[in-house]
Structure formats: structure tokens, C-alpha cells
Amino acid sequence: MKDLLQNIYQRLASLSLGLWLLGGVMLLLAAGSFLQGKGSMINEVALLDWLRAVPLQESWWLWASLLLLALLALNTMFCSIESLRAKWQRGSFLVRIAPQLMHLGFLCIMVAHLQSASGGFKQAGQVQEGTVINLADGSAVVFTGFAAAYSRMGMPTAYSATLEHMDGSSRKSVQISPNH
């Protein structure tokens, strides 16, 4: 039994498995982008909401992609562990840890995407000063101002919006900008 678990671990910690998983994810996502019809709502709702609503025969490619991405996350963790084991006695601390920080960043991005896919929502519409958007948790966002910066030639170079998040009695104001 120990040999079987060791064999599974070695396969999951393999760099070649990681490359095959990446290739598989790319192929599945490419297939899905071509198989989706014009009426697909995948870009209009949160990912996991879409997956719950769409039949398996239309979403198989995305379920398979998610499975491969989960395996890729395991592969990334196990490869990092093996790399640290192999390099633990050699080189400086920064040389040992730098690649693992990149892997950790990749895993954080995957977790953030999963969190967005499970707890996010999408709305489309025009907003103006004073527009209120009510969120699912009962709080609200108010657009309190908009600003634009222009070049000497009159071309817009930056945009920003000032938002106020209201949650019960607390209010927090923040400025957002796609350029910074």
C-alpha cells in the first residue's frame, strides 16, 4: 500500500504531468470556445451559476477543464514540495524559495478565480452619479462621482469612479480606476 501511495505521489509531482495537464486545459478551453453557440450565456453570469444551469452535454468541456485545473493545483503543490526537498541543503534561501513564490502566486490566482466564480455576480447597465446597486448580501454601492484625465491633444488618458459602499450604518468610500 505504501508503494502504491508513493507511486501516485511521484506521478502527481511530475513536471511532465504538469505540462500534459496544461496542454489538456488549453485544448479543452479551445474546444469549448468553438463549441459554444451564439446564444451562450457563459459570459453573462458567474461561472458556477452557469455550470449549475447548463446541461452536462453542453458544459462537459468546462467540467473537464476544472478537473484538470484541480489536478494541476495538486501537481503544483507537490512539485514545489519536491523542489524544496531537493534544494534544501543547496544555495541561498532566496534561490530555494523564489520559484516556489511564483508557484504560490499561481495557486493564489486559481483560488481567487474560484472564489469569483462561486461568489461573484454580473450585471450590465449604465451608471451615473447617484446610481445605487444593491448587492446580494444586503449592502449597496453608490456611484458618487466620475472623473477623466485628458492629454494635451484632448484624448482621454485615465478614468476613475468614486464609489461608496453602504453596509448598515457603516460607509466606506473608494476610488477605482481601470488604468491604475
In a shared domain, residues 88 and 32? yes
In a shared domain, residues 94 and 49? yes
Tell whether 153 is covered by a domain. yes
Task: Express each pLDDT in 158-169 by its tens digit.
Answer: 999 999 999 888
Please say whether the beta carbons of 21 and 68 come within 8 A.
yes
In a shared domain, residues 84 and 145? no
* Separation in Å, CA 33 to CA 19, 23, 65, 116, 173: 21, 15, 12, 20, 39
Domains identified in the chain, total number: 2
Q: Spell out the residues 6+ positions from residue 90 whose beta carbon is closer than 8 angstroms to its own.
A: 96
In a shared domain, residues 23 and 67? yes
Measured CA to CA, the distance from residue 93 to residue 106 in angstroms comes to 20
* pLDDT at residue 39 is higher than 60: no
Neighbours of 27 (CB within 10 A): 14
Task: Express each pLDDT in 70-124 by its tens digit.
Answer: 999 999 999 999 888 887 777 777 877 888 899 999 999 999 998 888 877 777 7
Tell whether 113 is covered by a domain. yes
Which pLDDT belongs to residue 180?
A: 61
Measured at the CA of 112, the angle between CA 94 and CA 115, to 5 degrees, comes to 150
Tell whether 101 is covered by a domain. yes
In a shared domain, residues 21 and 100? yes
In a shared domain, residues 82 and 47? yes
Amino acid found at 29: L
- CA neighbours within 13 Å on the CB side: how many for 33? 6
Written as nine digits, the cell of 77 is: 503543490
What is the pTM (predicted TM-score) of this model? 0.70
In a shared domain, residues 95 and 166? no
In terms of residue numbers, what domain contains 157? 132-176
* pLDDT at residue 170 is higher than 70: yes
Share of the chain above pLDDT 70, in %: 96
Q: If we measure between CA atoms, which residue out of 39, 71, 78 comes closest to residue 58? A: 39
In a shared domain, residues 113 and 71? yes
- What radius of gyration, in Å, describes the C-alpha atoms of the chain? 23
Tell whether 125 is covered by a domain. no
In a shared domain, residues 111 and 53? yes
